[in-house]
Amino acid sequence: MPSLTTTTTTTILLAALTGASTASPLLARQAPSITTPPNQPAPTPTPWDHGATPDFPIHSSCNATERAQLQDALHEMLLLAQHAKQHILRFGNSSAQYSQWFGQAPTAGPIGWYERILSADRADTLFRCDDPDGNCALHPDTYAGHWRGSNATQETVICPRSFSGIRWSLNALCSRGYTVANSPANAFFATDLLHRVLHVPRISEGLVGHFAEDYPEMLALARERPEEAVLNSDSLQLFAVDVYGFDISVPGVGCHGVYSAVEEEGAPAATPSPSGVVSSVAVETPSVTQSADASCHTHSDGFVHCD
């Protein structure tokens, strides 16, 4: 009986229009633009995002405690990305941190990357703990995880080492001697995961990469090639942790620190590392070793890059 529905709708609309027109001519003029024309059915809501994957999937190979820690760290990663975006939306390029890390680049780029981390669909992405490529077992003392690269480009392996206490919670930011300028970017599980999701093409669109990794190089990149700074994984990580420290952790103070050149690898670390276990390794200095796959290289912190 569509005629009954139409009639009812028409009656209600006419009543609304009549009421509006007696109340105010302005409202009467606006009313038709916000109501359904009487001769058309009201649109039925469609589940436009049916099948979406809003949360990062965690594989069943992660046990209960690994899953719990990973979920906490992913939540903290989203807090970092959310605040980085908010800071840029509020201050734009007048932010001292913005110009330090991204120079004169338009703000839409970094805002877009943080937004993709926050909200891009996570279909096909996977965090897994079962070491399918055998890298965790091969390097138990150095590998904390790796992007699977050409083996499974949307997948990330997190090794047991990541769950052994080497990564700090974000609520320790600006304590334990940590400084943005001198401490390893992956001191926090949240920054480590920012790095890892930026390797996943579903998030990074294959554009974010490694253009500069140590502090002076990153600042030079921001000054000289800002268009690359906004695509530089480490710059995106460190800007996020820098403004979180300054705005949230210790408001108005933060823990940027003053850069001092890193010591040679093998010398005692000049700066705190997230674990006593690795304190003798200058983890902030990438030591590049070739792996079996010629397109991959392994950093001393166990992160495999396949470019």
Ligand X SMILES: *[C@@H]1O[C@H](CO)[C@@H](O)[C@H](O)[C@H]1NC(C)=O
| Binding residues vs ligand X (CB under 6 A) | 63-66, 92-93, 104, 133, 135, 146, 148-149, 151, 160, 163, 291-293, 296, 304, 306
Q: Is the CB of 103 or the CB of 272 nearer to ligand X?
A: 103
Q: Is the CB of 194 or the CB of 304 nearer to ligand X?
A: 304
Min dist. Cβ of residue 93 to ligand X (A): 4
Min dist. Cβ of residue 63 to ligand X (A): 4
**Would you tell me how many other CB atoms lie within 10 Å of the CB of residue 165?**
12
Min dist. Cβ of residue 146 to ligand X (A): 6
Q: How far is CA 238 from CA 129, 130, 181, 245, 248, in A?
A: 26, 29, 9, 10, 15
Min dist. Cβ of residue 14 to ligand X (A): 49
Give the pair of three-digit tokens for residue 155. 């997948």
Distance separating alpha carbons of residues 222 and 246, to the nearest angstrom:
20
Distance separating alpha carbons of residues 289 and 115, to the nearest angstrom:
33
Q: Torsion-angle region of residue 304: left (phi > 0), alpha (psi -120 to 50) or beta?
A: beta
Q: Is the CB of 53 or the CB of 93 nearer to ligand X?
A: 93
Q: Is the CB of 33 or the CB of 65 nearer to ligand X?
A: 65
Min dist. Cβ of residue 94 to ligand X (A): 7
Which residues, 6 or more positions from 21, have their beta carbon under 8 angstroms from its beta carbon?
Answer: 27, 28, 31
β-partners of residue 155 are 126
Distance separating alpha carbons of residues 111 and 92, to the nearest angstrom:
10
Q: Is the CB of 26 or the CB of 294 nearer to ligand X?
A: 294
Q: Is the CB of 210 or the CB of 248 nearer to ligand X?
A: 210
Min dist. Cβ of residue 305 to ligand X (A): 9
**CA pseudo-torsion sign 219, 225, 226, 231:** negative
